Structure 1
Amino acid sequence: MHLEFNTLRNKLLICNICCDDKSALKNSPSGDYSSKLIALLGVTGPPIPLLRVDRHFTDRPNYPKKINFPDYSKRMTLCGSINGIVCLAHYEEMSGRFVALWNPGTNYWNPIALVENKSWVNMSVGFGFDAVKSDYKVICIVSESRVNNFGWSRVEIYSTNQGSWENVDGKGIIPFWPNVNLRHCNFIINGVPYWMGVDVQEEVAKSSVLGRIDPLTGLYKKVMYPSHVKNKSAKVNPVKWKDSVAVLIQSPGEYPIQMIDLYVLLNENTSKWAKMYSIGPLSSGRAFEHLRIPQSFSTGEIVLETWTQDRNIVDCVDRYICDPKTGLIFLNKEIEALNPYWFESYNHVESLVWVKGMIQIGKEHIEKKTNPKMKNWTEFLSKEFESALHL
């Protein structure tokens, strides 16, 4: 009931932010942009801090097996948010060892160990939800070195219901690889994660597509962009828009460079798209060369970042919030507080949801002897959590 109530009113993004001491987010240890922060962001108002991340720490190759959340959270990446559960991945000293699920609203988490006898190099992590079985799943796309053709991958899926990994190699190595350095899915729609990447089987070498992994079946499916994007000068940015797959297309030569078209995918099977809106012209007073869409709010407003590489322009980045339906576009001062930049972001709803395997942060290493009569420790933690909710 709490989840349903919040979902209907949700207007928040959860963001992984890099900030400095000159920003509105004060408490940074230095001005070298080394402070990271997980925060909630609304259309208006300042960001709401959830977790401050200290990136300065000594690498320890013999990292303890009994990990704790404060250590795990250093240098991690946001990989998705569903029903208040946030997926995290670590690519530094715990690379190839753990991913984790975290509910920032209840302060519970679940570190999930990766299978030790497999390669997890060049891994990109997504988060999915199987609504049929009410099963939250961590979905990893991993570079497959056994395949000679560059760009092929294998898919590994962790089921929270089963508490184990399932390798879906038997269903085929997929001819897809997320864009270089993309360590997380771009967005999640109805529990299905989408990645921007290349399909090696396309007629055009390294053709850009959206790839999705179905959390129910584990099967890969490609989503082709609108046909007129074959224009080599067009720049495509996929985005989740009102629970639909959408793209923002910047087509120099077709329209003024300050204009952007919003297309929505109507049918995934036929790759049928419809142009919904033309956005712009953006009002910064200068033409831009590049466009980045961190995310869109559930209410439809889209966050845009534009920038130019002109060295004569010191402040070369402009940040907007635009409402495609009304055509309203404005420079957003709240987002400017997040200078110099932000990383991953996803729609997020605050909830009391608990999934199997979660334990309270700060109590990761409680001895099971606390209750010798309780044989199932997960069952014990579940009862403790339920009791806390009734207080």
Structure 2
Amino acid sequence: MNSWSGSGRRPRIMASSLSLPQNTITDILSRLPVKSLTRFKSVSKNWADLTSAPAFIAAHLRRSSTDPSLLIRRYHSQSGWDYGIWLITNPTLSYATQLLRITLEESLPLFPKIVGSVDGLVCLDISPCYASDFAMWNPGTKQIKRLPLPLITSSRDNPIWMVFHGFGFDSFNNDYKLVRIVSFRGNDASPFLRVEVYSLREAVWKEIEERFELALLCGGQDGVVVDGSLNWAAIGLQGFADRKVVISFDMGREVFKTIPLPPVTRYGNVKVVSYMGLLAVAVYPLVFAANGNNMNRFEFWVQGDCEDGMKRWSNMVVVENFSKSLVPVGTWGDRELVFKHVGVRDRENQSSLFLFDPVDHTTKRLPVDFVDICFQGFSYVESLVSVS
């Protein structure tokens, strides 16, 4: 029906609005990207309330988790020179790339390091050293929040030697947790450890008494999330002497355990990864081994449940004469291994990043060139999960 609002003016259309069932609206909105949902919050208060509800955020996360992206931090050196955080998406196997920007109120001495990426939340280490300052970032919603400073600090009498960390989701307590393992050099030159955990839900740090005394964590690797635990590669001591192990931290019970690795790991580098929800390790050649026990093959081992209830390692992949210039850095979508190529640039073939499927042994090249550039790689999914 048309009605005139005044002489010489255009008619105002009075159309009856069509309404959809609430569950239909919820289902449609849960399929949309975060950028669209953020804009739609201004459409109506009802939509703003709906998309902020925990049940909707969880439903949206379940859908987006089926299509993970790859989050990469690239840099030339620890000084942060020539840095950037890139997002590689794979909606149609075209591998679109996007440079992400971090906006903090204060300038940072170094470009942030990535501690972990879980459910759309990215934990950043924004400290110049000793992993002593952190921020929580959601690239989708553009939210970022600086966390309280850790409890454990370095001093002249008790200087920090090394710091290891990891970030993951504690499903038992419905909480996101940041774990910080601080190693001090003792008077007898042997290190001792202190451990603290930050709870995103409670917004506090707490030091825990739980310790592991039979291993030293290997540098350069962040904790890998597998089935509610954070896992680090480590060098065994005492009963595990001269062997590599995995140190696993149960985020729900907040206890550590030591997991022995297959004997083949003794003479190779070890990269801990998650594969199909299981703990896995990629074993690849050492760049240099003084004892001459170099391995020139790649092996991929997965720990699964056996009929007797025990967990055992099974070998999925063995590649003989494996190049030392190929380094596994993680998994994409919990299914495909991500490899980087290091060494002399081949100007005719600059592929330095590719995917490998351990089941059918197929490889796929990624459209990014990181030759002679260091980087971290993490799976990432868009979400509305709040940094608070």
CA contact (8 A) 1:289 1:306 kept: no
What pairs up with 1:9-24 in 2 under 5 angstroms?
10-18=67-75
| TM-score, reference length from structure 1 | 0.68
Query: Structure 2: how far apart are the matches of 1:38 and 1:312?
Result: 24
Structure 1 unaligned residues grouped into runs of 5+: 21-31, 54-67, 282-286, 357-391
Match of 2:195 in 1: 155
Which residue of structure 1 lines up, in the alignment, with residue 368 of structure 2? 335
RMSD of aligned alpha carbons = 3.8
Change (3 A) 1:186 1:160: closer
Distance in 2 (CA, whole Å) between partners of 1:342 and 1:46 is 21
| Structure-to-structure mapping, 1:303-382, within 5 angstroms | 303-307=338-342, 318-330=352-364, 332=365, 334-336=367-369, 338-356=370-388
Q: CA deviation at 1:140?
A: 0.2
Rounded to whole Å, the distance in 1 between the matches of 2:185 and 2:348 is 43
Residue 48 of structure 1 corresponds to which residue in structure 2? 98
Which secondary structure does the structure 2 equivalent of 1:304 belong to? strand
Rg larger in structure? 2
* SS of 2:99 mapped into structure 1: strand
Give, in angstroms, the shift of residue 355 of structure 1: 4.2
Whole-Å separation in 1 of the counterparts to 2:211 and 2:355: 41
Matched to 1:81, the amino acid is: S
CA displacement at 1:352 relative to structure 2:
0.4
Deviations 1:220-271 (A, max 9, x none): 12222113434x3x443332222222122347999994x5332111159956
Shift of 1:143: 0.6
- Per-residue CA deviations over 1:134-174 (Å, capped at 9, x if unaligned) read 111110010144685724322100112222111112x3464
Q: Does 1:193 align with 2:230?
A: yes
Match of 1:179 among 205, 213, 218: 218
Residues 96, 77 of structure 1: alpha-carbon distance in 2 compared, 3 angstrom cutoff: closer
Aligned to 2:167: 127
Match of 2:323 in 1: 288
8 A Cα contact 2:116 2:124, kept in partner: yes
Identity %: 21
Quote the Cα distance in structure 2 between the aligned partners of 1:254 and 1:174: 27
How far did residue 190 of structure 1 move? 3.1
- 1:167 equivalent in alignment to 2:197: no
SS of 1:293's partner is strand
Determine if contact 1:135/1:161 at 8 Å carries over to the other structure: yes
1:316 to partner: Cα distance: 10
Matched-pair contact (CA < 8 Å) for 1:97–1:113: no
Correspondence for 1:227? 263
Contact 1:293 1:303 (C-alpha < 8 Å) held by counterparts: yes
TM-score, normalised to structure 2, is 0.69
Unpaired segments of 5 or more residues in structure 2?
Answer: 1-58, 287-291
Report the residue type matching 1:334 in the other structure. P
Letter paired with 1:109:
I
Superposed structure 1 runs of 4+ greater than 6 Å apart: 251-256, 311-317
Q: Distance in 2 between matches of 1:276 and 1:117?
A: 41
Match of 1:273 in 2: 313
2:113 maps to which of 61, 73, 77:
77
Label 1:200 to 1:148 Cα distance change in 2 as closer, same or farther (>3 A). Answer: farther
